[in-house]
Structure 1
Amino acid sequence: MHIPVVRAQHVIDNIGVLRDAGVPIERELERSRLPAFIEQTPDAYVSLPRALDWAWRSSRELGIMEVGFLAGRATSLSRLHPAVQRAVIGAPTGLSRIEALSHQVHRENSALQIDIRREGVDRRVLCEVRGFQNSPFVGFAEWKAIVGVINIVRSAAGSDWCPTEITFVSRGRPSHAAREAYGNARILTGQQHCSILVAAADIAQICIGRRSSAVDVNGPTSPPRTPFGLGDAWDFVTAVRALIRPYLAQGHPPLSLVAEIVGMSERSLQRRLAKCGATYSDIVQDARFAIASDLLVDSDLNIADIAFAAGYENAPHFSRAFKRLTGMTPRDYRGALV
């Protein structure tokens, strides 16, 4: 079973669009059971189905395609996961940057798959949100993917570049602003694939910021460092652990909440974890340790604040649990790394 997750930054972009439009979103956020502190944790992961459902419920007055387009426009390289940024920036041409994105895009949306297909002298960049082709909410995710790829092509072809064609699986009608933003591009909805059509020559160019230095277009790029707990693909345990993390600041997330988020009964969730050689308590402990160790290394927060962020009742409880896992107190652990 694949649990689709999405990086919280993409939900935050939708929140910003809706707030700017004066849409009251707090009630729907609470109803969605998304993490209460989602706006403070852009690199956390949340349930993609819940994020799309929340966006749809909150966007009824504006429409999926309008909110998706506006949130997509907020997309920039600086808002992507750090590992994705490194991979994309390290590639010299538009084509190699799209390929780098395709290899790392699971860090943004585990259901998103990016492929490149030849069409004569053109290339079609496919942005498929797997498992959501029949979802009425898929337009939100499609716009984010499309604008992200367009921005990458523009890093090679220039800021005014527009694709020849943009296609969406979503059947919503693009807004007038969306059509104006992409010049003479054909924008088609209700299609078999979500994609953009690009001239091969446009993405073969060396990216603008790298033209002043010699670049080996065929040379390999250094692979990005893999962060804790995230490999090249999302397995079941990795996804559950990631979903738990942003809820820990609210305390110990009950099994019933996590089962609801992943769309399973409590018993089914426990059985599935057992098949993977884990228990729910193991997953919560791993998630807590990951948060605590990251904050001990990368922040100046005091021990009590770190304990709260990792979901512990108090600092002494946190210190005892941390020492059981590492043989060191949190203070000693931090000191050993200085």
Structure 2
Amino acid sequence: MAMGHALGPMGWDRMSSTIPLIRRWPFTHMVSSLEDMGINSGRLLTRNNIPEWQYGDAEEMVPIFDFLRGFECGARAIGSEEFGLLLAKRFGVSEFGSYGAAITASKTVFEAMRTACQLASKEATTARYWLIPQSDGYNFCRKQLFVTPETDHGLRQLEQYSLELMVNIVRLGAGPDWQPTTVFLSTLRNRFPTKQRQFNPEATRYESPHSAIFVPAAVLGLPIRKKAPDSRFCDMSMLEASRVDEDICDAVMEFLRSSLLIDSRNLTTLATVAEAAGMSKRTLQRRLAQKGSSVHRLYDEVKYRKAMELIDDPAIKIADIAASTGYEHSQHFINAFRRWTGLTPGQYRKTATVETGH
């Protein structure tokens, strides 16, 4: 089997200017797991000022810092430093949204690993996976690009979670009992859970520049054991076309769109966006200004696009569109719509009716 060259981590230099985001579905998994463990997730999130990102389209992007804080709070709530590991063990790769669907559609273990590497930045904008050839196999590597002291606890949980995901990808062909013979961890030995170690201590190397598991050559060509795909995640076009990891304006708009969906009454401010981005307000303002934009301008664009999605459906009342786009009063929405289009919503609908003949 021809396995080609090493698949390296692409686009690392872009991450300093963007907002860290992750697909919504891991957050949903986290919340459902907490509930199954007897934890009132709504109360836990509210108490720790974490938005309830579990609601909405699983493929939407949400701030990764809220996900990391959720990991930290979840670990505290269940009294275990292994919350990330427990979460990863509860869900199969096929349940990992479009990302998981793409991986499980692979023919071999090597192809599944390669797909995971190619699409990782579309799944979480600060994650990079890559393959390094060895004499008798490949190192399946991972690195988290955005690291701050404030998120250290959550990042340790994320490392457990991600490494178990990597192992589970190999197990798609190698079987449920497969374990890596060598594991590389970026964390210190005393910072990894000790009650139930995720991997054999004798096979684990600490303080590595990145996390990795070794996958022997004998495993790489094994066929993936097919399961019926989840029809909700069979269309890969949105995942593959996503470019939120490349542009600060795109990333901020994705965050603002998710904020609007979760609570249209939420008044998203420069401060809330900067917090989600892990930047100071001044830094965020400067980076957006370099692109000729601002949080206010991007939020206005998000509201405009949402309004245009709804306005063509005559069954939706203007007042409901106003509420869905974050306007408490219909007149404020009408004023904004006139600014966007030069017409009131009513005039726009009449024009559209004339043009279409319906």
TM-score of the two chains, using structure 2 as the length reference? 0.72
Cα deviation digits, residues 234-283 of structure 1 (max 9, x gap): 32112211222222223331223223332444444333211111122221
User: Is 2:207 the partner of 1:191?
Assistant: yes
8 Å CA contact 1:65–1:140 kept in 2: the answer is yes
User: Is 2:168 the partner of 1:156?
Assistant: no
Q: Point out where structure 1 has 5 or more consecutive residues left out of the alignment.
A: 211-222
**Alpha-carbon distance in 2 for matches of 1:235, 1:227:** 16
Q: Relative to structure 2, which stretch is displaced further, 16-25 or 245-254?
A: 16-25
Cα deviation digits, residues 308-331 of structure 1 (max 9, x gap): 343233567556655765689597
**Alpha-carbon distance in 2 for matches of 1:285, 1:72:** 38
> Structure 1 residues 252 and 65 mapped into 2: Cα distance closer, same or farther (>3 Å)?
same
Match of 1:172 in 2: 192
Higher relative contact order (CA 8 A, sep 6+): 2
Note the C-alpha offset of 1:59: 1.9
**Alpha-carbon distance in 2 for matches of 1:86, 1:302:** 37
Q: 1:34 aligns with which of 30, 46, 50?
A: 50
User: Is 2:163 the partner of 1:146?
Assistant: yes
> Structure 1 residues 119 and 228 mapped into 2: Cα distance closer, same or farther (>3 Å)?
closer
> Structure 1 residues 133 and 9 mapped into 2: Cα distance closer, same or farther (>3 Å)?
same
Match of 1:217 in 2: none
How many residues in Structure 1 have an aligned counterpart in Structure 2?
Answer: 319
> Structure 1 residues 233 and 4 mapped into 2: Cα distance closer, same or farther (>3 Å)?
closer
**Alpha-carbon distance in 2 for matches of 1:63, 1:190:** 24
Match of 2:133 in 1: 118
Cα deviation digits, residues 25-47 of structure 1 (max 9, x gap): 44552354432454345333333
**Alpha-carbon distance in 1 for matches of 2:254, 2:182:** 36
Note the C-alpha offset of 1:69: 0.8
Amino acid in the other structure paired with 1:173: P
> Structure 1 residues 289 and 99 mapped into 2: Cα distance closer, same or farther (>3 Å)?
farther
Q: 1:239 aligns with which of 251, 265, 276?
A: 251
Q: Relative to structure 2, which stretch is displaced further, 23-32 or 162-171?
A: 23-32
Q: 1:15 aligns with which of 8, 11, 31?
A: 31
Match of 1:280 in 2: 295
> Structure 1 residues 24 and 168 mapped into 2: Cα distance closer, same or farther (>3 Å)?
farther
8 Å CA contact 2:123–2:239 kept in 1: the answer is no
TM-score of the two chains, using structure 1 as the length reference? 0.76
> Structure 1 residues 304 and 72 mapped into 2: Cα distance closer, same or farther (>3 Å)?
farther
**Alpha-carbon distance in 2 for matches of 1:3, 1:230:** 14
Q: 1:48 aligns with which of 64, 78, 89?
A: 64
For the aligned residues, what is the CA RMSD? 3.9
Match of 1:219 in 2: none
Which one has a bigger Cα radius of gyration?
A: 2
Q: Point out where structure 2 has 5 or more consecutive residues left out of the alignment.
A: 1-16, 228-234
Secondary structure of residue in 1 paired with 2:163: helix
